[in-house]
Structures are given as C-alpha cells and as structure tokens.
Amino acid sequence: MEYQACLDYMNRNCVSGTPGGYMRTQRMAELVGDPQEKLQIVHIAGTNGKGSTAAVMEAILRQAGYRVGLFTSPHLERYEERIQVDRQMISEPELAILLTMLIEQVIPQLLAEGMGHPGEFELLTVAGWMYFAGRTDLVILEVGLGGTLDPTNIIEHPLLTVITPVSLDHCAILGNTVAQIAREKAGILKEQVPAVIAPQQPEALAVLQETASELQVPLTLVQQENLQPVFTNLQGTYQQINCNTALEAVHNLQHRGLITITADQIAAGLQQVFWPGRMEYLDLDGQRGILLDGAHNPAGMACLAENLKTLYADREIILFLSILDDKEQIVMLQEILPLVSTVIVTRPEHGQRAQRWKQLQQEIRQLAPDCSCQLYEHYQEGLMAALKQLQPGQLLCITGSLYLLGDCRRFLHTVLS
C-alpha cells in the first residue's frame, strides 16, 4: 500500500480509545515476533513533561554514541515524528511498509479472532517496535495514555521506568483525583526494575511509593528543593524539572553499568536538545514574536502562565487559543486570561474533540469581560488575523491544544518562509 493509502485506512478504521487495546497490542506484537522483546527500553509515563524528558535523555545518550530510538505521541505535524532513530524520523516509504504488513497480514487475524480493529496508537506502537529492532541500542518509549492498560505497557523487562509530574488530565478515563491518576501511571512500574520519579504532589507521591514498595522497585526521587541548575536551550522553568529527571535517569543507567558516558557528553547533549511546541519561540523581526506551547491541561497552563510572567513580562500578549471539549476549560482559562489583552479562539482542523469550541468565547467573556475576544472557525484565518494585529512589543502565544499547535506550526512554515 502507498503511504497515503495507509493513512486513509487508519483514519477510516482505527478509532482511538477502542476497548481491548492492551490485549490487541499484545496479540499484534506476538504475530510479528514480539519485536519489543529485542529492545532495551526506558519507559516513561506521567501527565506533563514526558516528551521533553524523553527528548533530553535521547540527546544525551546520542551524544554518547548510542543509537537511540525515540517513540512519542501525539505528533504535531506528521505521523513519522512519533518514530525516530537518532532524531531522524522514519521515512514515509518505511512506515508504509510496516503499516501495510500490519494492515494486510495482522489485522485480518485480529478480526478473525474477534479482537476488533486496533486503534491508531496501537498500530503505530507495534510499527515503531518493528522499526527499532536491529537499529537501536536503547529506546526511549513514551506511553500514550495512563500506564496500566496503555498499549506500550506490554513490555515486561524495561531497563528503567520514569514517571514525570502527575496532575489532572484525561479524568474521564484515568480518574477524577490526582491519586487515582497516579495509580494508573504507576502501572508501568515493574517488579524490581529501578524507577526515577520526578517531583510530585504529595497524594501522587504516596501512591507511587506504595506501588514501588509492593513491587520492590528501587526508587530514585527527584526532589523539587534539590533541583540542580541545568543549562539547555529549552525555554521554561518547568524544563528544569524535566532535565533533572532525565539526568537522574541517565545516571541510573550509568551507575548500573548499562551505559558509559562522560560529563562532557552530558553537557553537549543538553545543549543540543530540541523539543518543538514547548515554549518554542519564533522571532519575527526583533520586535514581535510568536510563542508556541503545548499546554493542554490545567497544570500545563499554569506552567505556561508562570513562564509568561517570568520571561515575557514586558510583552503585551495576544492569545491564539483552542481547548478540546474534554479538558477543564474553565480552570485553564483562569490560569492564562489575567495575562493577556486579546484572545482569538479557533477550532483545530483535525480536532474531532473540539465541537464546543464556540462556547469558549462565552466563557472568556464571563471570566474576563475586559478582554477582547474574537472567533474564527478556520485556524488559518484566525492566525492570519492575529499576525496582522501583532504590533511591535507584542507576543502572539499559541496554546491550549496540541492539535492546534501542529496545525499552526505547519501553516507558519508556509507563511513565514
């Protein structure tokens, strides 16, 4: 099958969130020879910071000469972003070959066994493992959602597990309290496999420590009060947490004799790391700028607000915003609205979970009646309007949804080139 035909098939048939994803992924992997068992994996879960932590680890390990696979989600612009080796994305033809095999040979067997169609994430997870096998020394593997029943969690013997800060998100699926969500994230912990835990809220930490104790997991806790200043090109104070967590993970692998690395290689890796869409700044003309940040839950929006106050206190901010229906919209708006003068609300082109996007304007007017609020259904029109309004000394901040971020990054490549 051609690449586009594979994507069309996934869009038609592979509905995300279908029950049975864990078991289906297990069976799919079995049918293609369990490629995940051939990989040396660091498994990462958490609410915020998973991608950045994974990217920092990848950059450091690559600088030390290792061939490093990176599996993250969701993508911003292209599916191939999810599957990388040494920060080179899998090519369209290579991904098409793997997806074609799964679609034509494996999915019919799943259907014959009554297991149903795999979701998009399940399919790409197994494709990623197939691609990494034989090409990598280590794989940094980010969960998709939760932990316990996440398709990535069929791996049985990771080298290390890492849990980044846990907060409220995907509450309808994972639970309505931080403790409940932490229990889901703790599902990636494996018996006697070491784990590194980022700074946590007390209720999350209690759950993670309890689970670790039950499984005899050697635990390394990254303490908020003991964070070391890390020099990197990643913007945002929250990246200090992610970088410290990644460093602890690297040191854990080093102390156990699983990798060999020097302080110079660590420093060089930190200087090279890049993670798009997280406090990503685009300078337009020295006086105006665009900030893209993937804040899509209350904790993420609180971090963005903190960094806007710290790094851009001298800028008037225009907010270009979309928030999906299943997010805590009011709480997110309360975090960010006090800092902005104008809000432009739009609907991400590929966000099927943004059907109630117009209601954001009503919520904004209630929460911040003095804030100017505009509405554009098509993000391209809204983004062009925002760019035309942007004056010297102002900052356009694009946030609220990773779908929106991907749409805008793709569009900006065209209009700014």
Domain boundaries, the chain: 3-272, 280-415
Q: What pLDDT score does 166 carry?
A: 93
What's the CA gap between 93 and 80, in Å, rounded?
Answer: 10
Helix (H/G/I), strand (E/B), else coil: 354: coil
Counting as low any pLDDT under 70, the low residues of the chain are 16-19, 168-176, 349-353
Beta-strand ranges (E) seen in 199-341 are: 219-221, 280-283, 289-292, 316-321
CATH topology for 280-415 is: Protein-Tyrosine Phosphatase; Chain A (3.90.190)
Q: Write the DSSP string, 363-406.
A: HHHHH-TTSEEEEEEEHHHHHHHHHHH--TTEEEEEES-HHHHH
Q: What pLDDT score does 299 carry?
A: 86
Tokens of 212: 């670790």
Task: Say if domain 3-272 classifies as CATH 3.40.1350.10.
Answer: no
pTM (global) more than 0.85 = yes
What are the pLDDT digits (tens) for 194-231? 999 999 999 999 999 999 999 999 999 999 888 888 88
Q: What pLDDT score does 296 carry?
A: 87
Beta-strand ranges (E) seen in 239-287 are: 280-283
How far from chain centre, in Å, is Cα 315?
Answer: 28
Cβ atoms within 10 Å of 187's Cβ, excluding its own: 17
Q: H or E element: which one contains 75?
A: none
- Total residues found in the chain within this entry: 417
Under 8 Å between Cβ of 390 and 286:
no
What are the pLDDT digits (tens) for 280-330? 999 998 889 999 998 988 988 999 999 999 999 999 999 999 998 878 899
Under 8 Å between Cβ of 125 and 151:
yes
Under 8 Å between Cβ of 283 and 416:
no
Helix (H/G/I), strand (E/B), else coil: 150: coil
Under 8 Å between Cβ of 193 and 217:
yes
Q: What pLDDT score does 336 carry?
A: 95
What's the CA gap between 396 and 282, in Å, rounded?
Answer: 10
Q: What pLDDT score does 417 carry?
A: 72
Q: What pLDDT score does 413 carry?
A: 86
Cβ atoms within 10 Å of 117's Cβ, excluding its own: 19
Tokens of 210: 């309890």
How far CA 132 is from CA of 58, 71, 118, 386, in Å, comes to 14, 9, 20, 41
How far CA 291 is from CA of 275, 287, 311, 324, in Å, comes to 13, 13, 11, 20
What's the CA gap between 52 and 273, in Å, rounded?
Answer: 9
Query: Matching CATH topology for 3-272 and 280-415?
Result: no
Residue 257: partners with Cβ closer than 8 Å, 6 or more residues away: none
Q: Is the dihedral of CA 148, 150, 154, 159 positive or negative?
A: negative
Cβ atoms within 10 Å of 104's Cβ, excluding its own: 11
Tokens of 256: 């156990």
Evaluate the omega torsion of the peptide bond into residue 118 and state whether it is cis, within 30 degrees of 0.
no
